[in-house]
Structure 1
Amino acid sequence: MTGEINSLGPQAPLNAQLRSAAATGELLRLLQPQPGLLAPGESARAEVLSLRQIGQDFQMLLKLTQENGRQVTVQTNTTLPLPQGSQLTVIQPSPGNLSITLQQLARNNVATLTQLDTRQLPVGTLLQGKVITSQVLAQPPGQPLQYRSMVTLLNTLQAGATLSIDSPRPLALGSLLSAVVKGEQQLSFVPLTGRQDQLAISQNLGTQQSRQASLQGLLSSLKNLATDDSQPAQLRVTVDKLLASLPDIRQMGDAKRLALALSNSGAFLEAKLLGGGAAGLVPDLKAQVTRLVAQLLPNVPTFSPSVAGVVPQALPGLVRAAMGMLGQVSTRPSPGGFPLPSRLLQSMEGESDLQHLLRLAAAAISRLQSHQLASLEQTGTTADGNLQTTWQLEIPLRNGQDFMPLQVKVQREETPEQQSDPEREKRDPLEMLWRVELSFDLYPLGPLQVQAQVTQGSLSSQLWAELESTARLIESQLGELRTRLVERGLNVGELYCHQGTPPQGPQTKVEQRWVDENA
């Protein structure tokens, strides 16, 4: 479905509804009559603070500023929606009404965007907004219905601006919508589903990332609790099972063990629940940490046993409450990055060990959920029409007596031809384009990041080491790595190692070279 952005320039004629409302002086009706609000002949500046549609009428909250500087807030009803932030000049012809002039009304229409600036919002840009009003337009007999809606933009540089959109179908009040810019005055609406509503995903991702903390803090605390005889026996049993289920770093060279570690990372917990796979929940990391939270709650003074009894039914909301009640607050970071930055929670003054452990466990769940939401945010159709699917997750690996979280992002890209191929399920998966990113901190090598791309049996890869000594060591071993990859049947393209961290942005230098190499 497409929508047209109204052209409301100075030459655009006002419709009969506006003329009638302005002529009768009933443009704004006060919800509660206020005699003497404005003296005869006195005018006041008014700003629209909020707009809400009720049936076919609209309720507006206005802030009036009189000539003497006195400010008054009033609620009004009107048949004409004026966008939030609109500036008006009003008079009071009667105790129950406020009126603005026809000329003032015409000038105020500029408050809504009359067209999009395609220099700031190029064709193809995805706009996201919220519908604040919706009206059916009067049409000549025999003509299809048209609907006019006011939509507040929620993203891009135009966030906060209001669009007046005409469309062949009504837009539900309060609904979130996405539309692709087709021109200065034309949009194409994008259907939203639970997985494609990028706005909701981004909002939830930002919330989860503000609550998350690195897994190392939780795992270190659990290792100490496992040897503390003063803790409840059942809690220690749960901790022992969780720590024992973590894969060893030496097992990651085996394909089957690696696949099992990916499956049990917590990224697929909800899919297992929907599929009825209860047996697969036992070693799942997210399921185990959630079970740990359920056992911690009755032992933390903040929560009563009666609350703990309903944990299995209300755990997600309760986890959020636990983080809030125990002081888990943080500056909101920018969502969608990889890898997630390291973040450790410090024990708070007067906080018991179990209270701190509960905060760590709740923050670990948020970290796993951040990876899941980042996967959804990066899944969809690319500008080239290819279907991109992303899996982002984190696996805590046992490395001797320590733990090393391994962050993984895997992306698969299919062309429209591959998607429509009837033999798609039988074809070699490596014919599609695959991208893999790894991030980990391995002592004594320090932080490392790997980016690799595989397509049609060809592999290209780049590595980044933050320590200069590690970068030199890896560079000296790239020849051996190339030989081993060729022995596995791969055509090896570029292999590089750099000191530092990968460049950030929608298209890095590495990605550009890969595109050029495979063109």
Structure 2
Amino acid sequence: MIIQPTSVAALTWLGAAAGASAEGWRIGSVLSARPLGLTDQGLLVMQIGALTVEAEAPGTQLPSQFQVRVLSLGPQPLLEIIGAQVTTDTSVNQAMRERLPQQNGYAPLLATVTALAQWPVLRQLPAYVRNALALLEHSMSNPEELATGDGLRQAIERSGLFLESQLAQPGGDDASIGQDDWKGALLRLLTALDGQPSLRDGNDINVAPPLQSRGMTPQGRLALPPELAESSEAASFLPRLRSDVQAALARLEVAQLEASKVPAWMIEIPVQGQQGADVLQVRLEQHNKDGEQDQHWTLGFALDLPSLGPVQGELVLRGLHLSVRLWAQQRESTARLEQQFDDLRSRLAASGLSLDQLSCQTGLPQAGASRSAVFLKATA
């Protein structure tokens, strides 16, 4: 459920979301909650702790009193309902509860890896750590690979989301699969860093919400903190590197757990670009409605390139009919993308597809989100 504050509680909620007020709002804390009624718009009014909020009505009926556990803080705290009747498998729920406070986006890890690859400090690292870092970079895709359909398919297969299912296939080359897979590379690097201290204390850290809760959102590159950017000691990087690897691995495992509950694949693909790495988000969903004529596929993507800025797209394929909608945050990027439309039309015509719509708008669409009766995503 997406929780939004009522006007009365807005100021109090802003303080709670930032961790500055509303005592008890800390990761792992349990708060009392109770439903108060429905608004004219059909939103559920609830009291959580000392705050009154509105939320989308859940798929299950909530009892007169229940509890929620704070899973993450920041601008969009995530809460888990406990003490209510839900149908989610308890083992999956427990795994989600353990990983959600740990997970974060790939951008911090990619910033650290990029710095290590470019600076002389890399030579100070043990050989087994350097080898694990090299395999991690090898598991990333490059723009040339993603420019083809077969390359994109392989990048999705190597994204880490399907590692366990691929290893379970009989007759597969486990060594080859694990070497090219992003999750396999993360696990090897984490093993190599075993024993290094961690920077995360699990309390007031602000982390990005998981994919299904947030929807498509372009992720830009991050810069290292000045104290690390100016450091020449490898020991300064290893705690951050281990923390970033743990956060990226937890994020990937949350995406795997979420994939069992929703009808769409949400995939993040690290892409090795010029002077750094970027994150390509892909959402793939098959729609099965009444009759075969209503069946279609939707492919969404989001990325933030230094040369273009944040860009999103949605492709809808119905049989041989394709609709393409693009969004760019910067007006200059919109013009650059529109300059490629004639070439795109020619390529699609040569492939036998009929282009029903092709457009590019300035400004990004509002991020969508999934609804859950188990987890509450709070927004201010």
Normalising by structure 2, report the TM-score.
0.65
Counterpart of 1:393, as a letter, is I
Question: How far did residue 450 of structure 1 move?
Answer: 1.0
Question: How far did residue 116 of structure 1 move?
Answer: 8.0
Counterpart of 2:241, as a letter, is L
Whether the 8 Å contact between 1:205 and 1:374 is mirrored in structure 2 is: no
- Deviating above 6 A after TM superposition, structure 1's stretches of 4 or more consecutive aligned residues are 115-118, 199-202, 347-351
Question: How far did residue 330 of structure 1 move?
Answer: 1.8
Question: How far did residue 323 of structure 1 move?
Answer: 5.4
Counterpart of 1:503, as a letter, is Q
Partner residue of 2:47? Answer: none
Matched, 1:236 2:138: no
1 or 2 for the larger relative contact order (CA 8 Å, sep ≥6)?
2
* Counterparts of 1:194 and 1:275, CA distance in 2: 27
Equivalent residue for 1:207, pick from 84, 88, 101:
101
CA deviation digits over 1:335-392, x for unaligned, max 9? 3332264584647799722112112222222343354455445x1xxxxxxxxx2111
* Counterparts of 2:218 and 2:339, CA distance in 1: 29
Equivalent residue for 2:302, pick from 439, 444, 447:
439
Partner residue of 2:217? Answer: 339
Equivalent residue for 2:345, pick from 475, 482, 489:
482
Partner residue of 1:453? Answer: 316
Counterpart of 1:452, as a letter, is L
Question: How far did residue 226 of structure 1 move?
Answer: 8.4
* Counterparts of 1:123 and 1:438, CA distance in 2: 26
| Mean Cα deviation higher: 498-507 or 431-440 | 498-507
Partner residue of 1:99? Answer: none
Whether the 8 Å contact between 2:100 and 2:250 is mirrored in structure 1 is: no
Secondary structure of 2:214's partner?
A: coil
Larger radius of gyration: 1
Whether the 8 Å contact between 1:394 and 1:407 is mirrored in structure 2 is: yes
Question: How far did residue 327 of structure 1 move?
Answer: 8.3
Question: How far did residue 220 of structure 1 move?
Answer: 1.0
Normalising by structure 1, report the TM-score.
0.50
Whether the 8 Å contact between 2:111 and 2:276 is mirrored in structure 1 is: no
Whether the 8 Å contact between 1:272 and 1:281 is mirrored in structure 2 is: no
Question: How far did residue 241 of structure 1 move?
Answer: 2.3
Equivalent residue for 2:150, pick from 214, 235, 256:
256
Matched, 1:217 2:124: no
Partner residue of 2:192? Answer: 295
Secondary structure of 1:324's partner?
A: coil
Matched, 1:329 2:329: no
Question: How far did residue 124 of structure 1 move?
Answer: 8.6
Partner residue of 1:413? Answer: 287
Q: How many residues align?
A: 307
Counterpart of 1:369, as a letter, is E
Percent identity over the alignment is 25
Unaligned runs of 5+ in 1: 1-83, 86-110, 131-149, 161-173, 179-190, 303-321, 380-388, 419-429, 508-519
Partner residue of 2:85? Answer: 177
Question: How far did residue 495 of structure 1 move?
Answer: 1.0
* Counterparts of 1:112 and 1:467, CA distance in 2: 42
CA deviation digits over 1:94-137, x for unaligned, max 9? xxxxxxxxxxxxxxxxx998x9889446999512658xxxxxxx
Equivalent residues in 2 for 1:104-503 (5 A)? 119-120=42-43, 125-127=58-60, 129=62, 152=66, 176-178=84-86, 191-193=87-89, 206-209=100-103, 211-214=104-107, 215-224=109-118, 228-275=122-169, 278-279=174-175, 280-298=177-195, 300=196, 302=197, 322=198, 324-325=200-201, 329-330=205-206, 333=209, 335-339=213-217, 341-342=219-220, 344=222, 346=225, 352-373=236-257, 375-376=259-260, 379=262, 389-415=263-289, 432-503=295-366
* Alpha carbons of structure 1 residues 465 and 336: separation in structure 2 relative to 1, 3 Å: closer
* Counterparts of 2:101 and 2:353, CA distance in 1: 42
CA RMSD for the aligned pairs? Answer: 4.3
CA deviation digits over 1:391-434, x for unaligned, max 9? 1112122234532321111111223766xxxxxxxxxxx98321
Secondary structure of 1:411's partner?
A: strand
Secondary structure of 1:297's partner?
A: coil
Whether the 8 Å contact between 2:219 and 2:310 is mirrored in structure 1 is: no
* Counterparts of 1:228 and 1:409, CA distance in 2: 35
Secondary structure of 1:464's partner?
A: strand
Question: How far did residue 270 of structure 1 move?
Answer: 3.2
Unaligned runs of 5+ in 2: 1-30, 45-54, 70-78, 371-380
Whether the 8 Å contact between 1:226 and 1:236 is mirrored in structure 2 is: no
* Counterparts of 1:127 and 1:348, CA distance in 2: 49
* Alpha carbons of structure 1 residues 497 and 203: separation in structure 2 relative to 1, 3 Å: farther
